[in-house]
DNA sequence: TAACACCTGTTC
DNA sequence: GAACAGGTGTTA
């Protein structure tokens, strides 16, 4: 999503704003700051946090939650919440039907302080996962304060690729396994980005395009289907961890 | 650590 | 009508 936003809105000036009269609480701050005539200098991402740096040094921080999306069309469709007109021509509209997304003005540096390293940077190494907790490794991978940038799907997929059982207590992973897991996460996320993300149901890029990395899923949503490593003799299993659907193969993930 | 809350939409 | 869905924050 960041890549699409950079192409479409970086360097442009905000020339108008529009809001829904019934803004979700978590978005109410967007009316607090008058952004007209400010320029979008850059768009950053750290984990799941997007930030738009505006020309006066303030950042608009955006977390898309489950169904938030930025689209390049004028405000007006169902579940549109706010919109910026850019250079008197382009429109950047935020749409979020489940309304779990959050927007706020603030400092992206400060917001990042509460997050672990982004999973695609060199700061994310095996040592980041060398923690004492007995929580399942999958729960640790979803904890954004430890490492930022995966949710339920990509935690399952990475653990399959690294051949590690999602239920394993995190403190039982040895250094080799931690390194394997870090490498698997980086490879998988890079591929997912090249595929334009995963349009399981709702996700769309800025141009409304679907991402097709969900065709590459090896575990998520595949309960009962053959394991890609073990063949038809073993099926992908679904369990619940911390209330979240968790898919893995009992044959090749230890 | 678990349960629940926040939302809407889809599927069973 | 119930269950479930990619996330996270609060409460018990």
Give A153-172 pLDDT, tens digit per residue.
Answer: 999 999 999 999 999 999 99
Q: How many CB atoms lie within 10 A of CB A48?
A: 16
User: According to the model, what pLDDT value does residue A59 have?
Assistant: 95
Q: Which residue is nearest to nucleotide B1 (CA to C1')?
A: A242
Residues 9-68 of A with CB under 7 A from strand C: 47-48, 63, 65-66
pTM above 0.85, yes or no: yes
Which nucleotide comes closest to A97 if you measure CA to C1'? Answer: B8
Q: For residue A32, name the pLDDT band (cuts at 50, 70, 90).
A: confident
pLDDT at position A66 over 90? yes
User: pLDDT tens for residues A108-122?
Assistant: 999 999 999 999 999
| Spatial CB neighbours of A192, under 8 Å, sequence gap ≥ 6 | A154, A198, A211, A213, A216
Q: What is the pLDDT of residues A182-223, one digit of tens each?
A: 999 999 999 999 999 999 999 999 999 999 999 999 999 999
Which nucleotide has its C1' atom closest to residue A49's CA?
C7
The whole-number pLDDT of residue A158 equals 97
């Amino acid at each position: 999503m960041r890549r699409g936003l950079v192409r479409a809105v970086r360097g442009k000036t905000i020339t108008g704003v529009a809001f829904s009269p019934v803004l979700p609480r978590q978005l109410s701050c967007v009316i607090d700051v008058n952004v007209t005539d400010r320029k979008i200098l850059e768009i950053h991402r750290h984990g799941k946090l997007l930030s738009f740096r505006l020309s006066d040094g303030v950042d608009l921080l955006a977390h898309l939650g489950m169904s938030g999306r930025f689209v390049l069309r004028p405000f007006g469709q169902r579940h549109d919440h706010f919109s910026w007109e850019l250079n008197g021509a382009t429109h950047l509209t935020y749409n979020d039907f489940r309304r779990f997304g959050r927007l706020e003005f603030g400092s992206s540096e400060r917001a990042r302080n509460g997050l672990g390293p982004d999973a695609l940077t060199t700061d994310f190494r095996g040592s980041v996962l060398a923690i004492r907790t007995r929580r399942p490794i999958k729960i640790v991978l979803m904890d954004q304060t430890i490492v930022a940038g995966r949710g339920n799907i990509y935690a399952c997929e990475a653990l399959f690729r690294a051949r590690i059982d999602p239920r394993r207590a995190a403190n039982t992973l040895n250094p080799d396994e931690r390194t394997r897991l870090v490498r698997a996460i980086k490879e998988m996320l890079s591929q997912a980005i090249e595929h334009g993300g995963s349009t399981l149901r709702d996700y769309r890029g800025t141009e409304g395009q679907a991402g097709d990395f969900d065709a590459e899923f090896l575990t998520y949503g595949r309960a009962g289907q053959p394991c890609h490593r073990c063949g038809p003799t073993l099926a992908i299993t679904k369990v619940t961890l911390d209330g979240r659907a968790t898919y893995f193969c009992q044959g090749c993930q230890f």
